[in-house]
Structures are given as structure tokens and as C-alpha cells.
Amino acid sequence: MQATEAPSAAKPCCDCRVLEFLDSSIGKKVMVALAGILLCGFLVTHLAGNLLLFVGGPAFDHYAELLEANPLIPVAEAGLVVLFLLHIALSVRAKLANNAARPVAYAYGADKGARTPGSRTMTVSGSLILVFLIVHVLTVKYRVGGSRGPDLFAHLMGWFADPLYSGFYVLALVGVGLHLSHGFQSAFQTLGVNHPRYTPLIKKLGLAFALIVGLTFASMPIYFGFLGGAK
């Protein structure tokens, strides 16, 4: 008589394990990191296009027309919205989970030595960036306000001529720089790139990236708004 094999315990499916990982604390941090890196890539491409402002109105308006005529732009914009919302939602959830796991702050500020201005202001800078994005979309994409003409270049120059708008723009870019200065290196650390040899280099690259992106974006309202570069 042939012996029958005892039924083996059901193995968890691969999809279930992936979902469990994504729902875990480290899984959420990995998704925040990946979303942040993708958003850094968007910042670089967006910055490259905006630099055409310094070339002049015709060049920038031609660039804007090419973007508007591209049928893939609505898909890319929808993807960016999802990416931003995912990054925000997961960041807030991870923050709340960390606070719940450590409800009492370290005594005598023992952890302050390892913290940076960027890491201490992530919530504030993130909130500032969110407000700026809303204002930026309203004034650039939907062209709310403005006073100089129908072309996007002239429309932007009209906004940059407003010192309150340009001042807020610069302030928001300070927030972007602070956010990137910590978020860049933190994303790579979350993804496992954490080694005594490489971590200092990644931190320096993150600081350089934050300075370049923040200062270059901020140079536009400073030059066209406060220095009268559009005249």
C-alpha cells in the first residue's frame, strides 16, 4: 500500500509577500525613497526647461508650445500628481508611525548631533513645498492672474514683477533646498546604500544637488523679479 504524503502547509504567494512588505514600516519608507528619487529626476528636467527663460521669450514660448502639443504630457502630469500624493501620504504615515513608536523624545537631546537643518525641518519644508506647488500650478498651468500678455513668458514676467510672488517663490526654493539636502541622502540610505566609504560622499552629493537645484530655480525670480532682468 502506497503511503500518502501529508499535505504541506500552504505557502504564501509571491504577491501576498510583496503586499505585506509594502504595508510594513520599511516597505513604506522604500516607497517614499523611490518616489523621492523619481521626483528629483522630474526637478532636473523641469529645471532644464525653465533655464530657457534666460535665453528669451521666443525660445521659452516655443518650448512651452512643444510641451502643450505633446499628447503624452497629460499622462505625465497625471503620473506626477500620483507620485506627489503618494510621496506626501506615505511620508506623513511614516512620520506618524515613528512618533507612535517613540512617543517620548530622547532625553537631553541625545540625537541632535546627528541631525541637520534639513532633517529637522522636513515637515515644515514639505508643507511649504506643497503650498508652493498649488500656487505654481494655478499661476503657470492655469495662468491665474498675470498682467503682461497671452504668452507664457510674458505671463511669468508679470508674476515675477510682483515682489510678494517673487519673494514667496524664493522662500519656497529655500524649502526645496532644505528638503533635498536631507531627502536625497536619506533615500539612498533607505534603499540600502549605507556604507562608511560611500555615505559621506552621498551626503556631499545630496548637499550639492540641493544647492544647485535650489539656487538655480531661485535665480529666476531674483533675476527677473528683483533685478529687473525682463526689462
Q: Which pLDDT value is given to residue 107?
A: 43
**Global confidence as pTM:** 0.84
Task: Choose from 23-27, 86-90, 96-100 the range with maximum mean pLDDT.
Answer: 86-90
The more confidently predicted of residues 228 and 107 is: 228
Give per-residue burial for 193-219: e unless 16+ CB within 10 Å, then b: eeeeeeeeebbeebbebbeebbeebbb
Q: Determine the average pLDDT of the residues in 171-183.
A: 96
The more confidently predicted of residues 31 and 212 is: 212
Q: Which pLDDT value is given to residue 131?
A: 97
pLDDT bracket for residue 103 (50, 70, 90): low
Q: Determine the average pLDDT of the residues in 151-178.
A: 95
Cell numbers 503624452 label which residue? Answer: 72
pLDDT bracket for residue 82 (50, 70, 90): very high
pLDDT tens, residue by residue, 180-196: 999 999 999 888 888 78
Q: Which pLDDT value is given to residue 110?
A: 44
Residues in Cβ contact with 87 at an 8 Å cutoff, skipping those fewer than 6 apart = 32, 35, 36, 39
Q: Longest Cα pair distance anywhere in the chain, in angstroms?
A: 98
The percent helix, strand, coil of the chain (3-state, each to 5) is 75, 0, 25
Contact criterion met (CB below 8 Å) for 21 and 27: yes
Contact criterion met (CB below 8 Å) for 59 and 70: no
Residue 113 has pLDDT above 80, yes or no: no
Residues in Cβ contact with 123 at an 8 Å cutoff, skipping those fewer than 6 apart = 95
